[in-house]
Structure 1
């Protein structure tokens, strides 16, 4: 549980203080962090995540590939760190499904990696637990289309317990070379040239990308996140043929461009 320390944690804190190890400050969190949530329940999929702290280490934005976003306008955001590098993050949405994310993490000695445990709640009910791994972003330009997006992706779009397959093939300029979402085959004649670009290349976020299919429908990226290794990508998506009702897209990269 967040805020509870097991015996190993207490020993680790004591050893750090006695050995003269690095002393940490909350200001060490300033900047952008990206990573993944790995669920304990295998029926849930690995999800991307980012957290953003300003120069004063105030947490001001967070999102996951499950379609949840936390900002001061719609949520409460809290973080703390002690001198041993033990970090707590609590995110609570004010409306909709009251999505909450609690993280208990430790900062690495080089201050570039946060690892720990996660609790995900909806409507106040514990939905899942898991582990979290976050890496400090280098800032603007950290994510690149040619290295993080280009390649062949495969996965699913899920809605109300139903899934359909999704494939996506992107070149190094973000153009769609092929793919499909269920029965809809993506247009490769030029309508989807260069459409995959980052809206925030410090955290690997893409927003409002419209993919044209050969049957005249469109499939729209609400917002998607990519992990630091360019392995996982996903988030909410919408289909014009379904009245723009949406689902959650989870994709894994299966190959890089030749």
Structure 2
């Protein structure tokens, strides 16, 4: 059932402008930009790890045909009262710790990586915006081409009907034949124009497919993507309310001043 619904949606080309813009974020070029940013972040982590001490653990195993001293000592340090450790199988286990002393270069590289990360993020956003703007332009272009195609087909149908009626008049000798020839020339020119338009429509579809991996077969409404007039004015309502409160307050102030009367008496 779900598969059937998906097939019907694809067949009907039920895509909105927002869905197509989201498709742009999933194409290979956009993913490559994201991978580039991730790689720079990983390089920064490696630089940060250079500031911390490193602990290395090592182990080794050796086998000798004859018993061998595990700890080689010169004859001057040999104590005759203590037995020397001899063995044919020698197992060694240990660790070492290292930490950086001169860290100035590390901090400089860290700052460079911070700048590179910011630059890569900005570049990635700019590239995404360019692709989104290009997609909107292409959809607008495709919508115009579809409407132009519809208008030209109506014009073509009208000319064909006119030609049929004029052919009757030419046969009856009521209408001059050159008018029929002109209309047929206009129809041929219109046919060529329609063919060129169909080629341009296919080219536009191919460009949109590169950005979205979607092949469009009809117009896409862009008006739903734009802010509505009422939403735009709704954002200004707080200022209007503040202005109305302020004017109301002023009017009250004027009324209170008008209640006072001043009298002057001569003494």
| Fold similarity call, TM over 0.5 | no
**TM-score, normalised with respect to structure 1:** 0.18
Structure number with greater Rg is 2
Return the structure number with greater relative CO, CA threshold 8 A, min gap 6. 2
Compare the two structures and name the one with the higher helix fraction. Answer: 2
